[in-house]
Amino acid sequence: MKERGIIVTNHHVVDSFRQVAVENEHKERALARVVMINPHTDIAILKADNYFNADGIKINQQVKVNSQDQVFVHGYPFGMPYTVTEGIISSPEQLVDGRKLVQTDAAVNPGNSGGPMLNVNEELIAVTSSKFTNADNMGFGIPLTTLLEDITSFEQIQDFNLFYFKCNSCGTLIAQKSEYCSNCGNEINAKGFFELDKESKSFVSNFVEEALKMVNINPILARTGPDFWEFHHGTSLIRIFIFNNDYLYATSPLNELPKQNLEELMKYLLSNTVMPYKLGIYKNIIYLSYRVSITDLHTSYADTIKSNLAKMLTKADELDNLFAEKFQCPFTSFSKIVQQNL
């Protein structure tokens, strides 16, 4: 919401995190602070200091929502590229677990959470929140009126460096650990939300993120899930993950195979010039990979592995340019160069 300088999403999307990564259509990421949450409404409001001059959502506080109105659900279902699905409003005030939600038959899937539902005038009517598991044509959104109430509470905040939990009973903003609201006494169970990033990271997670810091990569901007990292370093996409609980893998899809000069390219790929890394081909794409046993992270080789992991990022960024220039290998669709031109 550009005019207000905020980013709105679902509380269940940010969960217990106080800092998260936000990403634009060019796969550029920036840090955002979770400033206020309302778990009851499933709303979280974020501030980001350097957020790409993104387009904002239009707000018409007098917008009317009626059954059979056309609705468009925007988002990234299943992590796919930006997608819009179309449907109608089945019910503008469907009662679900004591809350009134906007119900639609437009396709809603994991990844749509926190995205906007817009009407034909591109005005916000709801924030997509959920769907019933195994139920077709039944998605839900948090009504604009509910969102505006939370935004009104947010606008009372003076210090955006603090973190606030909204009491659903009286609307008081609470900025410290508490089990009860200091204003109305309502049980809020907010204690756990004030423990910064309360989830405990695994040994492997700490190991990988220490390696990323060696090349000045902020781990928050690199994380994609538990024990999984996916990010661009230069033009190259990097993926780091655990395989079968036995191996730590780092891999990068570099370039597609060229139409010509295959013999010269194959000789280079087989020459083992990139040790300790490996070059290989899978489905017409050249990959750079590094694999180590998880048990090796606990040995005297740990510092060497950490250094190799960090250096691989630079090597991937060098190699995709080398293959493009020397062997006329096209960049893959994973490359930041290609994605920025989509």
Q: Going residue by residue through the chain (342 aa), what tens digit of pLDDT does each one get?
A: 887 889 999 999 998 888 999 987 777 888 999 999 999 999 999 998 777 666 778 889 999 999 999 999 998 887 777 889 999 999 999 998 888 999 999 989 888 999 999 999 999 999 998 766 555 678 999 999 999 999 999 999 999 889 999 988 888 998 888 888 888 888 877 666 776 544 567 899 999 999 999 999 999 999 988 889 999 999 999 999 999 989 999 999 999 999 887 999 999 999 878 999 999 999 999 999 999 999 999 999 999 999 999 999 999 999 999 999 999 999 999 998 776 665
Residue 182, CB-side half-sphere exposure with 13 Å CA sphere: 10
Degrees to nearest 5, angle at CA 249 with 315 and 256: 55
Q: Which DSSP category does 45 fall into?
A: E
* Eight-state DSSP code of residue 10: E
pTM, to two decimals = 0.82
For 289, the enclosing helix (H) or strand (E) is strand 285-293
The pLDDT value recorded for residue 5 is 85
Residue labelled with tokens 């740990």: 302
90: its two tokens: 């089945």
Chain centroid offset of residue 286 CA: 26
pLDDT of residue 199: 52
Q: Which residues contact 109 (CB under 8 A, 6 or more apart)?
A: 77, 78, 131
- CA-CA distance, 176 to 269, in Å (whole number)? 57
